[in-house]
Amino acid sequence: MFTDAVVPAAMLSVELIVVLATAVRIARAVAPARDEILDRAVIALVTGVAHVIGVLLLLGAVGLLRRGPVLAAIIVVGACAFRLVPRVQTERPAPRALRPSTVLVSLTGLWFFVLWLVSSIGSPSAESDTNQYHLPNAAFWLRRASLWPLPPATPGYFTATYPSNGELAGLFLMLPTHDDRLAYVAPLVFAVLVVLGTGLLARELGGTASTGALMGIAIASSPLVYSTQVRSLMVDMPAAAGLVAGLALGLGARRRGDPVRLALAGVAFGLAIGAKYPVLVPGVIGMLAVAALAPRRARLRAGAWVALGAAPMAAFWYVRTWVATGNPVFPKGVTVGGHALLTGGRSPLNLYATSVLQHVRTGNTEVLARWARLGRSELGPALLVLAAGLVVVGWKLCTRRSRLWLFVAGVVAVSAVSYLATPFTGGGPSGVAFLVASQLRYALPFAFLAAAAAGVLPPLAAWPPAVAAIAFNVVQLLRGPAFRADITPSVAALGLASLSAVVVVALVPVVAGADVGAWASRLRARRPRARAPVAALATVAVMVTCAVPATALLHRMRPRTTRDLVAAALRRSDSPSRVVLLVGVIDVRPSLGPALSRDVVSVRGVGAAHEEPVGTTAALDQQVAALQPAVIVVGPSPIATPDGWTPPGWRKVGSGAGGEVYVPPTSSNVEAPPLPPVSNAAS
């Protein structure tokens, strides 16, 4: 019904308005100067994301991760910010015409923004990792209202222990509707942040912001990003955005001696470190670099400010994993001098954990050639941008020998080595093409850092490769089957209409030669302060104005009615429980249901995080007897399903996207013995 969308739309509108207003208030107070428009944009995005993720982390830690407490906490944090942060009038920019380069970069970024946005709303994700664990993990926390329990994971995989700031951003958009129709917009926010952060970092390094942003767009619009990040809950963009924004804000704080910017840089680094394990070391090195670039007597204080900002955004995930497994960086193992300080995860999939760096050490030229060929197909001419960035870093080190470029080069090098040394990036000993290609996205933090360094080049040298890369990306995008599947005629019409309106608004003043600065200044002319009742009515009017179209949009995007085999099996099952047991299921999304509300559990293996597969069919039979699930879904994973196991005596009702669906026999309502310890069952 149409009314079912009213409450979610109203809640989401209020939350977004409060987050946006709070972010703008803080950004204006931190960066009030007339030449700090880009600084304010990056600070507002970092602050807004931290507002959301910080609230979810806090409530998830105390078991109150529900939409009512989240709404209240968002409002309380916003009210405290307005109370504590003074209202600052930003300096008015000097009247001047818009630069053609700024207009071109803005319109190019806007085109990809609209395309990404209309591709991400209303449709289910087809990305494999999103459906295997990113979305199921968020749905598990949505049902449990707590972040402490490890979510179910298919034995053989370590997906239950990963840091998950990126999934929390999607969970924030899932809470009002209790489904995923808006969740896949979350990576787009980080895509905007990483492009703006690339421009800001290029400016802090001595280049121009427009050139740096164009270099960022060349990477963000590549087939690698579109095929893995759009309409998904992948966390590579949050990791890259936090790393780039943290370094950019940290360098700006060094130049201004501003401790608040240092703390905000730490917040950005914390967002990255809490989003993805491979960014842990580059993030820490970036934090140390920012502290080391401060004046000698202020380095410890600068490091304390950065750490103070980073800890709330990242520490929880490592503490949670430490409590659950005894190893804060599980499944990574730590060995010193031949002694294992922290035990890593064990899985048959570790046979494929070869990294690219291992292939380099062993001289495996065949795999390295395949890796280079796949990288060329996924990035195209954007590789020229990366090469230009590396040339700039090397040239600056050789000619200037400044501490700034020394530390920047260190962060870039560590991010590159972090990707090359990450397990599975090499696709195993034989370099399985699928694994190599799917792990190329781990290089995105390095790619955006290199793009920012390339932004230091003069426009005549930097723009040709960037424009060639963007043109290649557009052609590949329009030719790709994913684009034709995502962009329906109605979605295309909506995107073109929105883009055309913005283009007209942006170009008419430029073509007509209007004084945009003076026009904007007149709009911002100070007016008498409104009385409290008038201000309250204005606030209500803004919220209603946002909530009405949001209601219509949510109603239009309501989940489509599809064949739900698990729902049919639950109706046919006579088990007293409503548990859906997954055995070797890779595509978990169909088993969760349209509202992501089903009690889905996975078969439990052995190991600290139950990551090792169940070894025998007898052990699986014992788990089924103890759990007494209502439905069992048997997936195609041979690791978690030994010897082609099927539940003995259960009736198969069909095969769906997740696997074969079974219901118990009619006489199954017999009290089962308690589940024995998994380790004994496996032995």
- In which element (H, E) is residue 341 found? strand 339-342
Task: Give me the phi and psi of 672, to 5 degrees please.
Answer: -100, 155
Q: Cβ neighbours of residue 175 under 8 Å, at least 6 residues apart? A: 11, 66, 67, 70, 142
pLDDT, average across residues 124-131: 91
673 versus 477: the higher-pLDDT residue is 477
Q: Give the bridge partners for 632, in sequence order.
A: 581, 662
Q: What pLDDT, on the 0 to 100 scale, is given for residue 348? A: 86
**Cβ 422 vs Cβ 445: under 8 Å:** no
Q: What pLDDT, on the 0 to 100 scale, is given for residue 307? A: 97
Which residues in 188-222 are b (16+ Cβ under 10 Å) and which e?
A: bbbbbbbbbbbbbbbbbbebbbbbbbbbbbbbbbb
Tokens standing for 496?
């073109």
Task: Give me the phi and psi of 176, to 5 degrees please.
Answer: -65, -40
DSSP secondary structure letter of residue 441:
G
Whether pLDDT at 496 is above 80: no
State which amino acid sits at residue 77. V
Distances (CA, A) of 119 to 167, 172, 229, 479: 19, 19, 11, 16
Whether pLDDT at 607 is above 60: yes
Q: What pLDDT, on the 0 to 100 scale, is given for residue 322? A: 95
Distances (CA, A) of 236 to 126, 182, 220, 228, 474: 17, 19, 11, 9, 21
Q: How far apart are CA 307 and CA 53, in angstroms?
A: 17
Q: What pLDDT, on the 0 to 100 scale, is given for residue 544? A: 55
Say if residue 644 is exposed, middle or buried (CB neighbours under 10 Å; 0-12, 13-18, 19+).
Answer: exposed
193 versus 560: the higher-pLDDT residue is 193
**Cβ 40 vs Cβ 245: under 8 Å:** no
646 versus 422: the higher-pLDDT residue is 422
DSSP string across 13-44: HHHHHHHHHHHHHHHHHH--STT-HHHHHHHH
Provide the whole-model pTM. Answer: 0.89
Where residue 511 falls among pLDDT bands split at 50, 70, 90?
Answer: very low
**Cβ 117 vs Cβ 553: under 8 Å:** no
Q: What pLDDT, on the 0 to 100 scale, is given for residue 437? A: 93
Whether pLDDT at 549 is above 80: no
Which stretch of 48-52, 404-408, 675-679 has the lowest confidence by average pLDDT? Answer: 675-679
**Cβ 669 vs Cβ 621: under 8 Å:** no
pLDDT in tens, 66-113: 999 999 999 999 999 999 998 887 766 665 556 777 777 877 788 788
pLDDT in tens, 295-340: 988 999 999 999 999 999 999 999 999 999 999 999 888 888 778 8
- In which element (H, E) is residue 654 found? strand 651-655
Q: How far apart are CA 301 and CA 635, in angstroms?
A: 53
pLDDT in tens, 233-285: 999 999 999 999 999 999 999 888 889 999 999 999 999 999 999 999 999 99
pLDDT, average across residues 282-297: 94
Where residue 229 falls among pLDDT bands split at 50, 70, 90?
Answer: very high
Q: Give the bridge partners for 368, in sequence order.
A: none
pLDDT in tens, 176-219: 988 898 899 999 999 999 999 999 999 999 999 999 999 999 99
Q: What pLDDT, on the 0 to 100 scale, is given for residue 552? A: 53
Max mean pLDDT range (18-27, 325-334, 399-408, 635-644): 18-27
pLDDT in tens, 444-454: 999 999 999 99
**For residue 40, how many C-alpha atoms fall within 13 Å in the half-sphere facing its CB?**
20
Tokens standing for 223?
């087939």
Q: What pLDDT, on the 0 to 100 scale, is given for residue 557? A: 57
DSSP secondary structure letter of residue 134:
I
Q: How far apart are CA 167 and CA 570, in angstroms?
A: 28
Q: How far apart are CA 682 and CA 195, in angstroms?
A: 49
| Average model confidence (pLDDT) across the chain | 85
Which stretch of 294-308, 385-399, 474-488 has the lowest confidence by average pLDDT? Answer: 474-488
Give the percent of the chain with pLDDT over 70: 83
Where residue 516 falls among pLDDT bands split at 50, 70, 90?
Answer: very low
Whether pLDDT at 524 is above 80: no
Whether pLDDT at 417 is above 80: yes
Task: Give me the phi and psi of 32, to 5 degrees please.
Answer: -90, -10
Where residue 24 falls among pLDDT bands split at 50, 70, 90?
Answer: very high
553 versus 168: the higher-pLDDT residue is 168
**Cβ 30 vs Cβ 264: under 8 Å:** yes
Query: In angstroms, how far is the first alpha carbon of the chain from the final one?
Result: 53
Where residue 505 falls among pLDDT bands split at 50, 70, 90?
Answer: very low
pLDDT, average across residues 559-579: 80
Q: How far apart are CA 318 and CA 392, in angstroms?
A: 36
Q: How far apart are CA 429 and CA 245, in angstroms?
A: 36
Whether pLDDT at 29 is above 80: yes
Q: How far apart are CA 657 and CA 99, in angstroms?
A: 51
Distances (CA, A) of 568 to 594, 600, 661, 668: 13, 15, 10, 18
Whether pLDDT at 157 is above 50: yes
Q: Is the peptide bond before 331 cis (omega within 30 degrees of 0)?
A: yes
Distances (CA, A) of 63 to 49, 149, 169: 21, 10, 18
Whether pLDDT at 512 is above 50: no
Q: What pLDDT, on the 0 to 100 scale, is given for residue 266? A: 97
SS3 per-residue string spanning 536-598: HHHHHHHHHHHHHHHHHHHHHCCCCCCCCHHHHHHHHCCCCCCEEEEECCCCCHHHHCCCCCC
Tokens standing for 276?
């993805």
